[in-house]
Amino acid sequence: MSFPLLTATAALPAIGAVATAAVPAARRTAAKWLALVFSLATLVLAGIALARFEPGGERYQLTESHAWIKDFGVRYELGVDGIGVVLMALTALLIPFVILAGWHDADPLETKSSRWRPTQGFFALILMVEAMVILSFEATDVFLFYILFEAMLIPMYFLIGGFGDRAHTGSDENAAAQRSYAAVKFLLYNLVGGLIMLAAVIGLYVVAGTFSLSEIAEARANGSLSMATSTERWLFLGFFFAFAVKAPLWPLHTWLPNAMGEATSPVAVLITAVVDKVGTFAMLRFCLQLFPEASKWATPVIVVLALISIVYGALLAVGQRDIKRLIAYASISHFGFIILGIFAMTSQGQSGATLYMVNHGISTAALMLVAGFLITRRGSRLIADYGGVQKVAPVLAGTFLIGGLATLSLPGLAPFVSEFLVLVGTFSAYPAAGVIATTGIVLAALYVLVLYQRTMTGPVKAEVQGMADLKVRELVVVLPLIALLLFLGVYPKPLTEIVNPAVQHTMSDVQKKDPQPEVEAAK
């Protein structure tokens, strides 16, 4: 038996979480380093997985399969396709930065009783989330995926509710109330989505008798499994609802601004750049693969919802006064693009959507983390409290600008490639939708540049006067992310090579071919 690489990649952060949690209360710094080391080791394993993945090979590679709960027809089955392996690598890549950026976010404010260990808890929870997210990208058993999909809510919930952003206006009590409101809202939205999915998961079992993706696909191929149209649609809706809450898609998005606003910036990155990707990933992996007919049936509605997400998210981002909420609404707009790309059902659209997941992860991480550094310095999340930062802290302002430009998909930076692909893919299938989606780009320029202008340019505000520029730890966080944005912006081929074959598989699942370009005959 070969080395279970996928299991190891997920198990390592889980072990790290336990180890970190076990560090004695006084050895806070040791806990941080331990968490960082584990996250880096995970990154190495994920890198190996990425290197061993052969883009042209089998659909699912590095597979593992063990019996687990026979009575439920559940197996512990792992395997990655090009989409899964890339997202897994993205997760492993972002977590060390999240940990580094949140280095001081969970230091206890005062010495409480010796048994209270917030720092250890914070980093252990981050690693726990990493473990579950990675495993969910690898799971090829619907039940296993569902369990992780639900279980990852719990550590996320404690991260949001237990460790709020210390830069808040108003009293501590008020902030605590808002924070727990945000955490509960996050959990309830996602739990309701998850429970509805549970009904659909059970329904799937009743229909198919198994949870294994490969077995279901095989049964479909040889005709031994056929779903009634209405059954397939109901099951599709159950799954899609859960993923749309997670992704989040308008009108199920309202938990995101609360959660991202109240959480610390690294946790906000964790939410939007890592955990939410599970939702969009699952649409590709499960909705399209398990319910191809229903997916096609639902496409018009989902495309419209995605368009609303794009425009509505961008419009609300323009109107925000709070930096983090602005980024949250921008993310809603971007998730609209991802979902649009998936359900355009063209290979460009889906490749673009997958790339978008990666690029959005990196660019949002860069923007959000720099914003977090800025907010920590000033102690306020309100845009109006800033002004002229670029004169005082030029490096901070510069990195913030690059993160912002990436968010508005400036050519030369990674998100441009993916956004372009999504738009092209959409346009070839739904021209009108492509046109409407383009307004999202225009609005993105507006909210990013206005944000930059109000905070960074202009006369230096008195409170901003003594603001320190980025420190070494912060530079270590930001610079690699920016380098990646530039690299993937200029040379996206390594990613597209891995992703494209997987997208072809998904396209064949839904039995869709790309629309042939219509060229008017030359006269």
Partner 1 sequence: MSATAVHSLWTMAGGVTSTAPVEKFKAPVIEYTQLAPVLIVIGVAVVGVLVEAFVPRRARYYTQVFLTVVALAAAFAAVVGLAAGGYGTTKAHIAAMGAIAIDGPTLFLQGTILLTSLVAVFTFAERRLDPAAHGKHVVDSFAAQAASVPGSDSEKAAVRAGFTTTEVFPLVLFSVAGMLVFPAANDLLTLFVALEVFSLPLYLLCAVARRKRLMSQEAAVKYFLLGAFSSAFLLFGIALLYGYAGSVSYATIANVVNGSVTQIDPALADTMGNDALLLIGGAMILTGLLFKVGAVPFHMWTPDVYQGAPTPVTGFMAAATKVAAFGALLRLLYVVLPGLAWDWRPVMWAVAIITMLGGAIVAITQTDIKRLLAYSSIAHAGFILAGVIATTPDGISSVLFYLGAYSFVTVGAFAVVTLVRDAGGEATHLSKWAGLGRRSPLVAAVFAVFLLAFAGIPLTSGFSGKFAVFKAAADGGAGGLVVVGVISSAIAAFFYIRVIVLMFFSEPKADGPTVAVPSPLTMTTIAVGVAVTLVLGLAPQYFLDLASQAGVFVR
Q: Which residues contribute to the site for partner 1 (CB under 8 A)?
A: 67-72, 112-113, 115-117, 146-148, 150-151, 153-154, 157-158, 161-162, 173, 176, 179-180, 183-184, 187-188, 191-192, 195-196, 198-199, 202-203, 205-206
| Shortest separation between residue 5's beta carbon and partner 1, angstroms | 22
| Shortest separation between residue 392's beta carbon and partner 1, angstroms | 36
Of residues 49 and 156, the one with the C-beta less far from partner 1: 156
| Shortest separation between residue 122's beta carbon and partner 1, angstroms | 13
Q: Is 502 exposed, middle or buried (0-12, 13-18, 19+ CB in 10 A)?
A: buried
Of residues 229 and 465, the one with the C-beta less far from partner 1: 229
| Shortest separation between residue 399's beta carbon and partner 1, angstroms | 33
Tokens of 413: 């930076």
Tokens of 475: 């530079």
Of residues 156 and 374, the one with the C-beta less far from partner 1: 156
| Shortest separation between residue 113's beta carbon and partner 1, angstroms | 7
62: left (phi over 0), alpha (psi -120 to 50) or beta: left
Decide: helix, strand or coil at residue 196. helix
Of residues 14 and 510, the one with the C-beta less far from partner 1: 14
Of residues 44 and 199, the one with the C-beta less far from partner 1: 199
Of residues 117 and 381, the one with the C-beta less far from partner 1: 117
Of residues 201 and 467, the one with the C-beta less far from partner 1: 201
| Shortest separation between residue 67's beta carbon and partner 1, angstroms | 8
Please spell the DSSP secondary structure of 109-157, one letter per residue: SS---TT--HHHHHHHHHHHHHHHHHHHHHB-BHHHHHHHHHHTHHHHH
CA 379 to chain CA mean position, Å: 27
Residue 65's H or E segment, with its range, is strand 61-69
| Shortest separation between residue 221's beta carbon and partner 1, angstroms | 25
| Shortest separation between residue 70's beta carbon and partner 1, angstroms | 6
Of residues 59 and 117, the one with the C-beta less far from partner 1: 117
| Shortest separation between residue 210's beta carbon and partner 1, angstroms | 13
| Shortest separation between residue 233's beta carbon and partner 1, angstroms | 15
Using the Cα atoms of residue 48, residue 353, residue 411 and residue 386 in order, give the sign of their dihedral.
negative
What residues have CB less than 8 Å from 497, skipping those under 6 apart?
Answer: 55
Of residues 47 and 162, the one with the C-beta less far from partner 1: 162
Q: Is 4 exposed, middle or buried (0-12, 13-18, 19+ CB in 10 A)?
A: middle
Of residues 231 and 504, the one with the C-beta less far from partner 1: 231
Q: Is 191 exposed, middle or buried (0-12, 13-18, 19+ CB in 10 A)?
A: middle
* Rounded CA separation 285/82 (Å): 11
* Rounded CA separation 2/310 (Å): 45
Name the one residue in this structure whose structure tokens are 């009575």: 71
* Rounded CA separation 15/5 (Å): 15
Question: Quick check: 48 and 92 in contact, CB under 8 A?
Answer: no
At position 42, the amino acid (one-letter code) is T
